[in-house]
Structure 1
Amino acid sequence: MTHFPPARFRTAALLLIPLALAACSQSPSTPEGSAVNGGQGRLADGVGAPWVAPATTGTLKAMALSSGDNQLSSQTWTSATNGWGPVELNKSNGESGSGDGRTLTLGGKTYSTGVGVHANSTITYALGGQCSTFASDIGVDDEVGTSGSVVFQVWADGTKLYDSGTMTGSSATKSVSVSVSGKKELKLVVTDAGDGNSYDHGDWANARVTSCAASSTSGDPSGTTYTKLASEYGAFTVSGTQTVRFGADTRWIYKSITNSGTCTSTAFGSDPAVGASKSCFLVTYPSSTPAPTPTPTPTPSGNVTYKGPLVITVGGTYTGNYQSTNPSVPAITVKTTDPVIIENANVKGPGNLISGFKMNLTLRNTKGYGVNPNVSGKAMGRFLNSEDTVNLNVSNNYMEGTGGIYVRNFIGNSGAGQTIKILRNSVKNIDGRLSNGSGGYQNAFVRYQFVQFNSVRGLVNAEIGWNQVINEPGKSALEENINMYQSTGTSASRVKIHDNIIWGAYAINTATDSGYAGGGILLGDGNGSTMSTAGGYFEVYGNTIISTSNQGIGIAGGHDHNVHDNRVLSSGLLPNGQKIAAQNIGIYVWDQQGSKAGGVWVNNTVHDNQIAWMRYSSTGTPSLANTWTPDCVSGSCYNNTTLVNPATLTTESSEYALWQSKASAAGQSIGAK
């Protein structure tokens, strides 16, 4: 197994940051945009002005579907990215502004409804299993003539249902109609066909879902009440931080508001009910409903019968229960480059549970359990170890007491849709503790992570999203939960780390070890001095980070990292009330890897995050240590606000409950069945 170099270790100097420096630049100006700026005539736009929808400023409930057929241009997406300017509703792709496109036109036929995009683009909708069919006419818009080359794809619940093949401006219009019966998530993807994205204006014309059941009024628990605060365009105030919804009838966006707000689509990030008269309501959840505690999938009952280790040498679908008792032998080894599906399985052992080189692997609905190797100085292995990766889709799994997911080097064909997706997994106790050889553990650990990318570069349409990661003090030991070491997306397709909940990253001796350097999410780790090695092109949004000690989110080097609309908080306390000795900073921006010296430190932005990171002095006095941003370029760190003061253990539990409601409303089913 290839390991990262010694430079991977980070000094504990961050632990000594003076509180006086823990204040982010609150400049009201936004970061400078792309240097490319053309009028409507700029149809080539090949340099790229990638766009990400601001939907994560609010919690989007499932689609407000009417009974029968529904146009997608009248619905609210859960997330959207676009290769140039915003995704356009009922227009072709335009420039940097919303609504500046033209009439959707394919093969001389005009369309009054549909969605106009620019490769590379992904739009995700929460169907909630309510519709039967997705249908659309597709093609490259007539406005680019015979230019452009794209591929249209339709995905549902992580499975590709349709692929158009390469279409150009001279291709005839195609019509797609696929069954989405029972599907919870619909994803519309347009790629650049692997040859760059000049002129790549794709139209989802007359895009619709049919034979739908009407949406229920709300995904809120029974007993929730709603108090009107303001009509559309009005201002309102709330006491402290409260949940407010904006919309009409069954179409709502939910957002946490502190002190005051305005009842507009701009403030809430999207218009959930186009054409309707909208209002804002205070959402009050029933006080009799206690905040739930984390309840990951339990350890399987003793009636699971395991076979010995499995070695896969040909492609296909595999299921069953497999166990290794040898730390050097994985429970499942993949020794083929053919597509392999592992599903509905249980895997168990003291070493790597699933491992292979050059894998094209789909891993779903599988439960993995680490076992103490009982070899002094040896740690349990990874849940998944992937070297020289071709393609990974790791979704709806459960892992407990393992070293998480390790991915080194990407050798796949992005043009063919090969990428890495880690979605909707439930994780309990990433554990790198070294065995003492007698059934217990030493006070030392291997630097494990929930997800470690090592020199995984040039990914397209990659994402790590909607995962639930819970690490308990005394039962886990890890470095960052997510670490992107010398890894990149592309300028047109950033790697998305979104909507995860990460609760916990602790030293082995949490109450006394002040030198622990683990945390939540770390970007730009590794050699950041050159473009060929530095990390870059990541979008980190919508995540909830709770109690991860040294840092919630950090940018330590590299370029083109955008961290926004995350909720980052910690009471600074263990569940028993003891203080966390390594408690430090909520979000930091610090060029630890020397990127500025190499001219690589560019386009790193941190904005619109809500943070409440408690830290205690030697006398026990609490204070907020929300941000430390010594290397924020002017105007690149802004609108980062205090979520609550003080943050308490109750606050942490409430945030977990809020994330659960968010996931349910978005139709996300977390973990293995």
Structure 2
Amino acid sequence: MHMSPHAAEQGYQGPLIITKGGTYSGNWESKDSDVPAIDIRTKEPVIIEYSNIRGAGHLIRSIGYSANITVRHSSGYGITPTPYSNYEKPRRFLNVDVFKNIVVENCYMENTAGIYLAQRYVGDGTPQNTIRIRYNRARNIDGRIYNGLAKVQFVQFNYRGEAPHIEIAWNEVINEPNNSAVEDNINIYNSRGTVASPIRIHNNYIQGAFPFPANAEKYTGGGIITDSPETDSTMATAYLKVYDNQLVGLGNYCLGIAGGNNIEMYRNRAIVAARFEDNTLYSCWTGGIWAKDYYKLNSTFKNKMHHNTLGIVGQTGTWRNEIMDSTFVAAETFDNTILPEEITPTLEKQEYELWLNKLAHNNIRLGPQPSKATANKVIDYK
């Protein structure tokens, strides 16, 4: 399996177990899928910075400790998976169940299984107790495990409890066909923001979402989705704003509402030429945006999808996306723009140039920076 030569240049120590709060810097690895490279066993605040981490399983893990974790200016690499016991252990960059505060900023991820936040938010609702995933670069989100494939994402929320001040912003995620194995790039599953402070997913660049192998016909992944098989609407996915993202070259879908309420998706750009570099068409379905009460549990309502720009090549040309299952008012507002011109790989490449110009205009630097003096300042984008 491909591994960046930059990962091999570092001198690595064996797995690290953290039992006390503090700031940690170094290079750690685990060649055993059952053993995380860094295992955090404390509820005290832990900062991991200016570090390199690589693993055959979870890179950074915290299970059952009401975690307060900041990871910044660090790089994580997935290495060859090994046999595992009891349950799948994909190479998550960060895997946490119960948490108070999670910050992942200015990091680089390669061949990892992204960030997974599960079970429960137990913070106090202040800006110091939230989730911030910003200014990161990810290459090839990869769910391959020993003799198999797990469903993984760049970001997966699966926590219970409302949490304010959440932001997933200014991340660059690029997945290559046959070098990646990603399901949804961002999936919000039964997780909630608040009325006054919705989850904000904005100004991300997401390129590539493919089955493995890439020429397979069946694929259920894609771009950014909300999902919620929850009968109680007060527990379902809710209070999200998804805006100003660029979604390029994705299989299956770009933006989707499969469940949840009070969700607004707007000013996003979705450009899909649906061709590989050798000019062959994707074998899987390709689509732009959709809203559907997939589970028909009456917890999906008061959603809006508007002012998005779409250029999607499907099996029969550009597919003009429509609301699915409007009986359940999956999207009360659905008003978007279909690009009239032919959608080509050249247009996809132009989207990346737009992204680079956006970063430069906003003075955003992605990935690890060489010193604290050059680290990103916090900017509150509306």
Give the TM-score normalised by structure 1: 0.52
**Aligned pair in 2 of structure 1 residues 606, 592: CA closer, same or farther (>3 Å)?**
same
Within the candidate set 178, 197, 219, 1:516 is matched to 219
Q: CA deviation at 1:664?
A: 1.4
In the alignment, structure 1 residue 613 sits paired with structure 2 residue 308: no
Q: Give the match for residue 252 of structure 1.
A: none
In the alignment, structure 1 residue 636 sits paired with structure 2 residue 339: no
In the alignment, structure 1 residue 314 sits paired with structure 2 residue 20: yes
C-alpha separation in 2, matches of 1:418 and 1:499: 22
C-alpha separation in 1, matches of 2:8 and 2:331: 57
Within the candidate set 263, 276, 280, 1:578 is matched to 280
SS of 2:360 mapped into structure 1: helix
C-alpha separation in 2, matches of 1:644 and 1:364: 42
Q: Give the match for residue 402 of structure 1.
A: 112
Q: CA deviation at 1:668?
A: 1.0
C-alpha separation in 2, matches of 1:591 and 1:635: 9
**Aligned pair in 2 of structure 1 residues 602, 355: CA closer, same or farther (>3 Å)?**
same
In the alignment, structure 1 residue 551 sits paired with structure 2 residue 253: yes
Q: CA deviation at 1:419?
A: 0.3
1:269-284 matches, within 5 Å, as: none
Q: String of CA shifts for 1:181-229, please: whole Å, max 9, x gaps.
A: xxxxxxxxxxxxxxxxxxxxxxxxxxxxxxxxxxxxxxxxxxxxxxxxx
In the alignment, structure 1 residue 305 sits paired with structure 2 residue 6: no
Query: Does the CA contact (< 8 Å) of 1:348 and 1:368 recur in 2?
Result: yes
C-alpha separation in 1, matches of 2:7 and 2:331: 55
**Aligned pair in 2 of structure 1 residues 625, 315: CA closer, same or farther (>3 Å)?**
same
AA of the residue aligned to 1:661: N
Query: Does the CA contact (< 8 Å) of 2:127 and 2:164 recur in 1?
Result: no
Unaligned runs of at least 5 residues, structure 2? 370-382
In the alignment, structure 1 residue 434 sits paired with structure 2 residue 145: yes
SS of 2:133 mapped into structure 1: strand
In the alignment, structure 1 residue 603 sits paired with structure 2 residue 302: yes
Q: CA deviation at 1:395?
A: 0.2
Q: Give the match for residue 363 of structure 2.
A: 667
Query: Does the CA contact (< 8 Å) of 1:379 and 1:445 recur in 2?
Result: no
SS of 1:540 mapped into structure 2: strand
SS of 2:117 mapped into structure 1: strand
Q: CA deviation at 1:671?
A: 1.0
Query: Does the CA contact (< 8 Å) of 2:268 and 2:307 recur in 1?
Result: yes
C-alpha separation in 1, matches of 2:322 and 2:141: 26
Q: CA deviation at 1:416?
A: 6.3
Structure exhibiting the larger radius of gyration computed from Cα positions: 1
Q: Give the match for residue 645 of structure 1.
A: 341
Within the candidate set 454, 476, 479, 2:158 is matched to 454
Query: Does the CA contact (< 8 Å) of 2:301 and 2:330 recur in 1?
Result: no
1:408-427 matches, within 5 Å, as: 408=118, 409-415=120-126, 417-427=128-138
Q: CA deviation at 1:501?
A: 0.4
Counting aligned pairs with the same residue, the percent is 37
Q: Give the match for residue 35 of structure 2.
A: 329
Q: Give the match for residue 7 of structure 1.
A: none
C-alpha separation in 2, matches of 1:473 and 1:376: 26
Query: Does the CA contact (< 8 Å) of 2:237 and 2:259 recur in 1?
Result: yes
AA of the residue aligned to 1:368: G
In the alignment, structure 1 residue 472 sits paired with structure 2 residue 167: no
State the superposition RMSD in angstroms: 2.0
Query: Does the CA contact (< 8 Å) of 1:569 and 1:611 recur in 2?
Result: yes
Q: Give the match for residue 566 of structure 1.
A: 268
C-alpha separation in 1, matches of 2:84 and 2:320: 39
Query: Does the CA contact (< 8 Å) of 2:137 and 2:171 recur in 1?
Result: yes
C-alpha separation in 2, matches of 1:630 and 1:495: 25
1:138-287 matches, within 5 Å, as: none
C-alpha separation in 1, matches of 2:364 and 2:140: 22
Q: CA deviation at 1:417?
A: 3.0
Q: String of CA shifts for 1:470-490, please: whole Å, max 9, x gaps.
A: 000001111100000101101
Q: CA deviation at 1:593?
A: 2.2
AA of the residue aligned to 1:506: F
C-alpha separation in 2, matches of 1:517 and 1:635: 21
Query: Does the CA contact (< 8 Å) of 1:585 and 1:628 recur in 2?
Result: no
Q: CA deviation at 1:648?
A: 0.9
Q: CA deviation at 1:569?
A: 1.4
SS of 1:327 mapped into structure 2: coil
Q: Give the match for residue 377 of structure 2.
A: none
Q: String of CA shifts for 1:425-453, please: whole Å, max 9, x gaps.
A: 100001112334xxxxxxx5210000000
Q: String of CA shifts for 1:503-543, please: whole Å, max 9, x gaps.
A: 011011322x22211000011x1323212431110000000
AA of the residue aligned to 1:655: E
Within the candidate set 65, 69, 76, 1:361 is matched to 69
Within the candidate set 90, 93, 112, 1:383 is matched to 93
1:45-56 matches, within 5 Å, as: none
C-alpha separation in 1, matches of 2:333 and 2:121: 31
C-alpha separation in 1, matches of 2:100 and 2:232: 25
**Aligned pair in 2 of structure 1 residues 518, 379: CA closer, same or farther (>3 Å)?**
same
AA of the residue aligned to 1:514: E
Q: Give the match for residue 487 of structure 1.
A: 191
Unaligned runs of at least 5 residues, structure 1? 1-296, 437-443
**Aligned pair in 2 of structure 1 residues 380, 319: CA closer, same or farther (>3 Å)?**
same
C-alpha separation in 1, matches of 2:26 and 2:279: 43
